[in-house]
Structure 1
Amino acid sequence: MKVPNLVSFLRHCSSLEHIRQAHGFMVPAGLLNDNVIFAQFIEACSSLGYSSYAYLVFTHKRPKPNVYLYNTMINVLSPMEAISLYNNIFFAGLRPDTYSVPYVLKAVIRLSAVEVGRQIHCQAIGTGLDSNVNVVTSLVRMYSFCGCILDARKVFDGMNVRDVALSNAMVAGYVKMGDVDSAWKVFEEMPERDLISWTSVIAGYAQMKRPKEAVMVFRRMQVENLEPDEVTVLAVLSACAHLGSAELGARIHNYMQKLGFSRKLHLNNALIDMYAKSGSIRKALDVFRSMKERSVITWTTMISGLALHGLGREASEMFSQMESALVKPNEITFIAILSACSHAGLVEMGRWYFNNMALQHGIQPKVEHYGCMIDLLGRAGYLQEAWELVRGMPFEANAAIWGSLLAASNIHGDTDLGEHALQQLMMLEPHNSGNYTLLSNIYAAFGGWDESGMVRKFMRDTGVKKMPGGSFIEVNNRVHQFNAGDTSHSEFYGIFEVLREIFNQLKMVGHLQKERIELLDFDE
C-alpha cells in the first residue's frame, strides 16, 4: 500500500479491522514518524470510537510525539485523559501552543473543572499565550460555562484587539447566566457581527421570556440582510409562541420553506407549538399532518396544543393515534393529556390516564402529574377527592398544587380549604400577591367582606403588592403589550370605551353578576 492509498484508506475506515490493517502497514513503513499521517490515523480511530486504540499507539510512539500530535490526541480523548495528556506536554520538555489550550479547555468545560481551568490560565500567562485571541476566547468560554462570568469579563476586558469569535463568546456567556442586558451591551459594542452574534442575543431574549426584544433583534437582523439558520429560526419561533404572534410566525414558516428547513423535525415541532399558542390550532394540525417523521415530542406538543384550546377529546384521540403509531408516551406526554382532560372537564378520562400511567406504561406519577389531576378534580368540583389526593401523595405538595386547590376553592366557594391552601402558599410563596387576591375574592364573592378586608390589610401590612397582569395582542403585524393599570398606550381611551361597551353588554345578558364584576377591580 502506498502513502496516498493509505491516506484514502484512513478516510474511509469503517471498522476496527480497517484500523488494525492501517496500523499494520504504518509500522514497517516507518509512517508512525510522519506526524501528518499519524494525525490522520488518530482522527480515523476517533471517528469510529476507537480513541483508546490511537492513545495506546501514541503512548508507545518513538521518537516522542511533537506538540502537533499532542494537540490532535488531546482533542479526541475523554476529558480526564485530555487534561492528563496536556500536562504531559510539559513533562516531555515541550511548550503548549495556541491550539493546545483551546483543546484542553474544552475538556475542562465538560467537567466544569474551573480550578483546573485557572491553572491552565496561569500556564498560558507564563508561556505568553494569553495574548492570543483564540486562547483568550477559549478562556472566556471556559469561565462562562463554569459560572464564573466576572472572571470571563476580566479576561475579555484585558484583550485590546477583539474579533467576532471573542465577542460572541462573551455574549454567549452572559446569555448562559441569564444576563441578557449585559449580552446586549457587548453585542451593541461589536464593530462587526455574524449570524452567531445575532442568534445568541435572540435566543437569550427568548429564553428569558422577553419575546418582544427577541423579535425586535430579529427584525434588525433582517434589515442587515442576514439570512437566519436553523438555530435562529428556532429561537424566533419560541419568541412568537410567547407573544402569540401568529402573523410573524407564519412569515417564519415561509422562511423555513424558502430555506429548505420544512423537513427539520425540531423546527416543525416548534411550529406546532407556536401556532397552538398563537391561537391557530388548525395551522398547528396542518403542520402536524404534513410531517412525514414524528417523534414523541411532536405528538406531545400537538396534544399539549389541543389541551391549550380546551379540545380534550381531540387530545385523547391524538394520544390513541400516537399509541397506534407505536410511539411510546413519556412523562411530559402524560402531563399534556392530563392537562387536556382538566381544561375540558373530562374527569373520568383523566382518572383513567392517571391510573394507567404506571400500569400500562411503567411511568410513576410525579408531582406534576398529581398537580394536573388535582387541578382537574378541583375545577370539576371534586374538592374532597382533590384534598384526599394531596394528602396521599408520596411527596410534599408544591406551590402549584396548593395554588390549584386555592383556585378551586375560589370557583366553588370553599373558604376553609382556601384558607388552608393559602397558609401553605404563604410559606412557599410569601410574596405572591395572586394567592392573597384569590382568597380575598373567595370571601368577597360569598359575602365575607370583613374577611376580604383583613386579607387586603394583611397584604398592605406585610408589603405584598399585587403584580399587574399583562397580555399581548397582534394587530396589523405589530405586537401591542397591555398591563393592568397602564394608561400609556396611545389609543388607551378608545380601547377603554370599547371594553366598557363589551362589559355593559355582558352585564345585560347576565353573563356577569354585579358582585363578581366588582372583584375584577381589586387592586390593593
Structure 2
Amino acid sequence: MIRKRTNDRSNSRHQPSSLWRKCTNFRALKQIHAFMVINGFNSNTPALRELIFASAIAITNTIEYAHQLFTHIAQPDTFMWNTMVRGSAQSFKPKNAIALYREMDNRGVKPDSFTFPFLLKACTKLCWINMGFGIHGRVLKFGFGSNTFVRNTLISFHANCGDLNIASALFDVSERTDVVPWSALTAGYARRGKLDIARHLFDEMPMKDLFSWNVMITGYAKQGEMESARKLFNEVPKRDVVTWNAMIAGYVLCGSHKRALELFEEMSTAGERPDEVTMLSLLSACADLGDLDNGKKMHCKILELGSRELSKLLGNALIDMYAKCGSIERALEVFKGMRDKDATTWNSVVGGLAFHGHAKESIDLFTEMQRTKVCPNEITFVGVLVACSHAGKVEEGHRYFDLMRDKYKVEPNIRHYGCMVDMLGRAGLLNEAFEFIHSMEIEPNAIVWRTLLGACRIHGNVELARRANEQLLKMRRDQSGDYVLLSNIYASQGEWDGVQQVRKLMDDNGVRKEAGHSLVDADNKALMHYLFESKPKLKSRNQIASASNR
C-alpha cells in the first residue's frame, strides 16, 4: 500500500507538463497552482518555470498574479527573471520590467542575451530615452552588441525614441537580408515624419513584410498624404486589420469621413473583422458628419463583435457620437449601461445635455458626478457653464466658476471665460459682461468680443456694440460678419449714419461680404444654392434641381 502511494506520487511528478496544455484561463491557472502546492511541485524548477510562463505571458491579464508568485520563489533562475521582464514589458505597466531588472542586478543575477531586448522594448514603450541609453551601455558591457536579436531591438529603440544616427549606424552593420532591421529603421523615420527617407528605405528593402507596408501606409496617412497611402494600400500583397485601420483613420483625420465609411464597406466585403480601433475611427466619422443612421449601424456592429461589456473608449465614443448627432436619449442609454466610467464619460453626457438645451438635467448629472470618485476637469466645467448660460442661471454660473478654481484647482481657460460672457450676455447683463472681460486674467480673444457683440445685437445696446467692435478690429479686420453684425445693430435702432460708417469702414479695409447660401436636402442629395437677388425664390423640387445645374 505504501509502495502504491509512492508510485502514485512518483507518477504525479510528471503530470504538470501535460496539465499546462489545459491552462487557458485564470481559473485553470489557479487550479494547477493549487495542484502543484498539494503535490510538492512548489520547489520543482521546471514546474515553476511553466507556472511563471503561463501567468506572465501565456494567459491574458494575469501578470499581477505572476508577480505575486514570483516574490515567493526563493531562487528564480535567469529564465524566470527573463519571463517576468518580458511579461511586464508587454503589460500596461512596462516600468515594472525596469524595476525587475534593477532587482535582478542587486541580487547578482547575470543577464543574458534574452534579457536586454525585453528591457529595450519596455524603454521604447515608455519613451524612457536616458534609461534606454543606459541599457545600451549594459549591452556593450556584457558583450551582446553583436547578437542579432539584441541589435535589432536596439535599432528599434533608437529609431523610435532614441538617436536616429545611432539606429542608422547599427543598421549599417546588420544583416541586410534580415527584414527586421529594415522594418525597424523604416518605421523610425516614418513615425518621426521623415517620409522621404522612410520611403527610400522601403523601396530598397530586399524583402518587405506586412509590418513595413503598414508602417509606410500609416506614415502617409498621419501626414495627410492620402493619395500616396491609397496607392500603397492598393499594392500591398496581403492586408490585415492594421492596414485597413490606417487608411480609415487617415481619411477621418483629413476630414474625408464618407470615404472612411465607404472603405469600411470594402473591409466588410473583403471579410476582414474590425477591431476596437476601427470602430473608434468610424464613430468619430459619424460624429463629425452628424450621421445618426450610420452611427446606429456602427453601434450594432460593435454589439455583433461579441463584447459583453463596452470598453470605456468605445462607450465614450458612442456617447459622443449620439450626442453630436442629436440623439441625447441614446447617449444616455449608453451612459447608463456603462459600469466603468471616467471623466470623459461624464463630460460627454454633461456637455451633450447642455448643448441640447437640457440644462437642468446637465446640472443634475454634474451634481451626481460630484458624488462619485471621478474628479471633474476643465471640459466638465465648460458643459456646466453652457448649461447655466442656456438656462439663464447666472448666480449658479458664478458659483460653478468659483468652484472650479477654489475646490478643483482648475484654472479657467478662454472657453470658460467665453461661456461666462455668453451667460451674462444672454441674461442682458451687458455692462457686467463688459466688466468681466476687462477683469479676465488672460487676454480675451476675438470670439469673446464677438460673443459680446452678438449679445448687444439681441438687446439693442449700440454703445457697447461699438466698443466691442473696436476691440474686434484691433484683432482682425478681415471678417465681414463682424461688420455686418454691427451694421445690423445700428439698423435695428434706426441709426443709418452708423450703418453708412460701417459700410465705409468695410470698403476702406477691403472687406467684401460673401454671398449667403443655404443647404437644401433634395432627394437625399445635398444641393448648395447661392442666393442672388436676381434669382427667384425656389419653391419646388424641380426648381431646385434646375437651379443646381445653372
TM-score range, shorter chain: 0.7 to 0.9
Distance 1:186 1:467, change over 3 A: farther
Aligned pairs for 1:91-170 (under 5 A) are 92=143, 94-97=145-148, 100-102=151-153, 105-106=156-157, 109=160, 112-113=161-162, 116-129=163-176, 132-159=178-205, 161-170=207-216
Q: Which residue of 1 is the match for residue 270 of structure 2?
A: 224
Residue type of the alignment partner of 1:397: P
Q: Distance in 2 between matches of 1:374 and 1:280?
A: 28
**Distance in 2 of aligned mates of 1:214 and 1:172:** 14
CA contact (8 A) 1:433 1:467 kept: no
- Rounded to whole Å, the distance in 1 between the matches of 2:275 and 2:409 is 39
Please state if 1:389 is matched with 2:436.
yes
2:3 aligned partner: none
Aligned residues with identical type, % of pairs: 30
Q: How does 1:356-505 map to 2 (within 5 A)?
A: 356-426=403-473, 428=475, 431-446=478-493, 447=496, 448-458=498-508, 461=510, 466=514, 480-481=525-526, 483=528, 485=530, 494=540
- Which digits, 9 at most, give the CA deviation of each residue in 1:278-310, with x for residues without a partner? 121222222223333332222211111112211
- Alpha-carbon distance, 1:449 to partner: 3.4
Q: Distance in 1 between matches of 2:518 and 2:231?
A: 27
2:369 aligned residue: 322
Q: Is the 8 A contact 1:55 1:73 kept in 2?
A: no
* Partner SS state of residue 219, structure 1: helix
Kept after mapping to 1: 8 A contact 2:446/2:475: yes
Deviation of 1:393 (Å) = 0.9
Distance change (3 Å), C-alpha of 1:122 and 1:104: closer
Map residues 232-251 of structure 1 onto 2, 5 A cutoff: 232-251=278-297
Match in the other structure for 1:306:
353
Equivalent position to 1:198, from 229, 244, 265 = 244
Give the letter for the 2:352 counterpart: G
Give the structure 2 partner of residue 40 of structure 1: 83
Question: In the TM superposition, what is the alpha-carbon distance from 1:269 to its structure 2 partner?
Answer: 1.8
Letter in 1 for 2:530: G
User: Which region of structure 1 is more displaced relative to structure 2, 283-292 or 82-91?
Assistant: 82-91
**Is 1:86 matched with 2:129?**
no
- Counterparts in 2 of 1:25 and 1:321: CA distance versus 1, 3 Å: closer
Which has the larger displacement, 312-321 or 260-269? 260-269
Partner amino acid, structure 2, of 1:281: I
The alignment's TM-score, normalised by the length of structure 1, stands at 0.78
Rounded to whole Å, the distance in 2 between the matches of 1:178 and 1:207 is: 7
Q: Residues 209, 41 of structure 1: CA spacing in aligned structure 2 closer, same or farther, 3 A cutoff? A: closer
CA distance in 2, matches of 1:235, 1:410: 40
Residue 46 of structure 2: aligned partner: 4
Normalising by the residue count of structure 2, what TM-score does the alignment of the two structures yield? 0.74
What residue identity is the alignment partner of 1:84? G
The more displaced of 423-432 and 321-330 is 423-432
Q: Structure 1 residues 358, 61: closer, same or farther in 2, change over 3 A?
A: closer
- Aligned position for 2:219: 173
Partner amino acid for 1:200? Answer: A
Q: Which residue number corresponds to residue 24 of structure 1?
A: 75
1:505 maps to which residue?
A: none
Deviation track 1:212-267 (CA, whole Å, cap 9, x = no partner) reads 23222222222323222111111111111111111111111111222134522221
Q: 1:104 to 1:387 in 2, by over 3 A?
A: farther
**Is 2:254 aligned against 1:208?**
yes
Q: Which AA in structure 2 matches 1:95? A: S
What is the number of equivalent residue pairs in this alignment? 476
Distance 1:336 1:312 in 2: 9
Cα distance in 2 for residues equivalent to 1:319 and 1:63: 55
Match of 1:351 in 2: 398
Structure 1 residues 483 and 498: CA distance shift in structure 2, 3 A:
closer
For 1:183, the aligned partner's letter is: A
Larger Rg: 2
| Partner secondary structure for residue 394 of structure 1 | coil
Partner Cα separation in structure 1 for residue 178 and residue 531 of structure 2: 51
1:315-368: CA deviations, max 9, x gaps?
112222223445432221110111122234333332232233234434332322
Letter in 2 for 1:172: T
Give the counterpart letter for 2:166 in structure 1. Answer: Q
Q: Please, which moves more after superposition, 464-473 or 384-393?
A: 464-473
SS in 2 for 1:75: helix
CA distance in 2, matches of 1:276, 1:152: 40
Displacement of 1:373 in angstroms is 0.7
TM-superposed deviation, 1:199: 1.5
SS in 2 for 1:24: coil
Quick one: which amino acid aligns to residue 175 of structure 1?
Answer: A
Secondary structure class of the residue paired with 2:148: coil
Q: CA deviation at 1:390?
A: 1.0
Asked which structure has the greater RCO (Cα within 8 Å, sep 6+), the reply is 1
Matching residue's letter, 1:451: Q
Q: 1:325 to 1:72 in 2, by over 3 A?
A: closer
> Unaligned regions of 5+ residues in structure 1, if any?
27-31, 500-524
Mapped contact 1:444–1:452 kept (Cα < 8 A) = no
Cα RMSD, aligned residues only:
3.7
Q: SS in structure 2 opposite 1:381?
A: coil
Q: What is residue 342 of structure 2 aligned with on the other side?
A: 295
Q: CA deviation at 1:443?
A: 4.5
CA–CA distance in structure 2, aligned partners of residues 103 and 133 of structure 1: 15
